[in-house]
């Protein structure tokens, strides 16, 4: 495959927020994940220092919190102040201690060096509740809630710039789900109040790949919005253990990723909002979270209390399967690279993405008593966030190999090699994936301004498509070549993610 490019032909500027993450009060993401005062790795505030260091290593730019489905019944007031009263989490059916709330989240972000992005309760919450939360975070001293923040130990405003109105309120699974007309009105009225508190904030609202939903939302509230929020999970599981094989995952890396972005672009263009409203893909992962029987009204014969065997074994217990490290293989790494490459090719529109979640469940980091495991996806973020440049170039591609097959009964065809070229100070950085499970591919790079250069290749890979990392097991990692004269041809090993530096 040959790609031709020049710095004179740019697609746009890539925003570093494409490499963001997401954190929800689910299973071990908060407690036992980022926040674990009992751990020997805990810092003076109870945060896992090893997790913070890993998130700094991948230059985490932004974290979205507290949900997710959790937020749609969350009262933010329960998570602030010196006395925290535990509450029942109606989304995930567990007790929430409220030990980790707004102040802890902002403190965590400051330690990491990233922007906090707060998702508000648009399920059971009101426009008043949302705007009060902005008051707590962003007003210096006026009003009840700013004074509460000061009394709680934060004399300076938190200065939270990014806010989302709601989560997946388009879906019947969400507490406080809305129809399209209701949603447009709620977003409009909430945005008005939030912006009257702080007109400098940037607002997003829950969207979905649906024409009617977007037309209603954008007509009602588009003038107040900076973002629309999309979510994507491409591989669920009937049992939390069985997943698509590597090849099937690769066949999901084409239109299944790009289609929703293309249609969002069409909706915004049709309403004259292109250039004003951008897309935040603020939840995404190859694998959907496994949480069976969250709503189990069909099992009415089973008892419903915290000591019930059904509850322990069929609702809460199965969530542990999300943390089986053997699930997360080179398929996850190559898919993650394909998703980010798609966002980079649409960098004029997609300016934020939040991998779901930060830690544990499907996260790129797994915590245990004696340390952390870096799953294959982690190294994709390490390569992209540290090496890719700010300008994405338009490319001319020739001779692209293809792979085809059936996915869910439908024929799918995708490019075997997926490459995105970026340039900036010091030269070029090319993110190049080889999706083929067995065969090496060769990438020919033609620089229209070639004047004699050097090349170095960073390759993320393992011994097989199913390679993974676990406690005491490190199969997947990055190797780096020496700098050498650039000859125009670059080998791409099978099932690999590569960043090619040219200087």
Q: Quick: pLDDT tens for 406-423.
A: 999 999 999 999 999 999
Question: Residue for token digits 């991998």?
Answer: 355
**258-262, 291-295, 354-358: which has the minimum mean pLDDT?**
291-295
Q: How far apart are CA 409 and CA 166, in angstroms?
A: 34
Domain with CATH 3.20.20.80 in the chain: 15-387
Tokens of 216: 């209603």
Task: Return the CATH number of the domain spanning residue range 15-387.
Answer: 3.20.20.80
pLDDT of 43 over the 90 cut = yes
- pLDDT confidence tier of residue 10, bands split at 50, 70 and 90: very high
**What is the pLDDT of the chain when averaged over all its residues?**
96
Encode burial over 434-472: b for 16+ CB neighbours within 10 A, e otherwise. bbbbeeebebebebeeeeebebbbbbbbbeebebbbeee
Three-state secondary-structure class, residue 401: coil
Three-state secondary-structure class, residue 287: strand
pLDDT of 34 over the 60 cut = yes
Tokens of 79: 């998570």
pLDDT of 447 over the 80 cut = yes
pTM given for the model: 0.97
pLDDT of 301 over the 70 cut = no
Strand partners, 396: 4
pLDDT for res 372: 98
- pLDDT confidence tier of residue 302, bands split at 50, 70 and 90: low
pLDDT for res 305: 52
Encode burial over 56-78: b for 16+ CB neighbours within 10 A, e otherwise. eebbbbbbbbbbbbbbbbbebbe
Which whole number is the average pLDDT over 139-167?
98
Domain with CATH 2.60.40.1180 in the chain: 391-502
pLDDT of 160 over the 70 cut = yes
∠ CA 400-404-408, nearest 5°, is: 145
CA 463 to centroid of chain Cα atoms: 27
pLDDT of 446 over the 90 cut = yes
Q: Identify the CATH assignment for 391-502 out of 2.60.40.1180, 3.40.630.30, 1.10.20.10, 2.40.430.10.
A: 2.60.40.1180
Question: Residue for token digits 């440049």?
Answer: 389
pLDDT of 443 over the 90 cut = yes
pLDDT of 306 over the 60 cut = no
pLDDT for res 309: 80
Question: Do residues 212 and 190 make contact, with C-beta atoms less than 8 angstroms apart?
Answer: no
Write down how long the chain is: 503
pLDDT for res 451: 66
pLDDT > 90: percent of the chain: 94
pLDDT of 98 over the 70 cut = yes
Q: Residues with catalytic annotation?
A: 168, 283
pLDDT for res 299: 61
350-397: pLDDT as tens digits: 999 999 999 999 999 999 999 999 999 999 999 999 999 999 999 999
Question: Do residues 91 and 124 make contact, with C-beta atoms less than 8 angstroms apart?
Answer: no
Which whole number is the average pLDDT over 97-120?
98
């Amino acid at each position: 495959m040959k790609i031709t490019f020049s710095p004179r032909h740019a697609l746009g500027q890539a925003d570093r927020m494409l490499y963001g993450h997401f954190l929800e009060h689910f299973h071990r993401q908060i407690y036992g994940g980022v926040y674990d005062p009992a751990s020997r790795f805990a810092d003076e505030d109870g945060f896992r220092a090893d997790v913070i260091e890993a998130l700094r290593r991948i230059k985490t730019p932004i974290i979205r919190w507290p949900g997710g489905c959790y937020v749609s019944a969350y009262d933010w007031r329960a998570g602030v102040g010196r006395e925290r009263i535990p509450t029942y989490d109606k989304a995930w059916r567990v007790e929430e201690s409220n030990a980790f709330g707004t102040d802890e989240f902002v403190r965590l972000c400051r330690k990491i060096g990233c922007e906090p992005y707060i998702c508000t309760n648009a399920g059971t919450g009101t426009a008043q509740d949302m705007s009060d939360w902005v008051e707590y975070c962003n007003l210096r001293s006026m009003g009840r809630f700013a004074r509460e923040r000061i009394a709680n130990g934060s004399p300076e405003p938190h200065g939270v710039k990014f806010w989302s109105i709601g989560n997946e309120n388009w879906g019947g699974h969400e507490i406080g789900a809305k129809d399209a007309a209701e949603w447009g009105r709620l977003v409009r009225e909430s945005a008005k109040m939030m912006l009257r508190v702080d007109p400098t904030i940037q607002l997003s609202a829950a969207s979905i790949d649906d024409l009617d939903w977007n037309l209603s939302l954008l007509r009602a509230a588009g003038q107040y919005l900076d973002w629309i929020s999309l979510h994507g999970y491409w591989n669920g599981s009937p049992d939390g253990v069985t997943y698509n094989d590597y090849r099937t995952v690769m066949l999901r890396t084409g239109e299944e990723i790009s289609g929703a972005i293309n249609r969002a672009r069409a909706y915004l263009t049709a309403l004259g909002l292109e250039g004003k409203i951008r897309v935040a893909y603020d939840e995404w992962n190859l694998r959907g979270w496994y949480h069976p029987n969250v709503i189990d009204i069909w099992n009415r014969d089973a008892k419903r209390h915290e000591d019930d065997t059904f509850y322990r074994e069929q609702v809460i217990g199965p969530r542990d399967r999300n943390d089986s490290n053997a699930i997360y293989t080179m398929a996850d790494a190559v898919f993650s690279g394909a998703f980010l490459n798609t966002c980079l090719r649409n960098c004029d529109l997609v300016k934020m993405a939040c991998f779901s979640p930060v830690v544990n469940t499907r996260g790129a980091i797994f915590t245990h008593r004696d340390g952390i495991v870096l799953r294959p996806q982690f190294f994709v973020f390490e390569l992209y966030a540290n090496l890719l440049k700010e300008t994405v170039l338009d490319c001319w591609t020739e001779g692209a190999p293809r792979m085809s097959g059936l996915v869910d009964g439908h024929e799918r065809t995708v490019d075997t090699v997926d490459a995105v070229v970026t340039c900036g100070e010091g030269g070029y950085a090319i993110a190049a994936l080889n999706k083929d499970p067995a065969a090496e591919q060769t990438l020919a790079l033609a620089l229209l301004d070639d004047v004699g250069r050097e090349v170095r290749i960073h390759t993320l890979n393992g011994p097989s498509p199913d390679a993974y990392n676990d406690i005491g097991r490190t199969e997947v990692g990055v190797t780096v070549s020496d700098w050498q004269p650039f000859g125009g041809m670059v080998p791409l090993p099978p099932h690999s993610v590569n960043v090619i530096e040219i200087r």
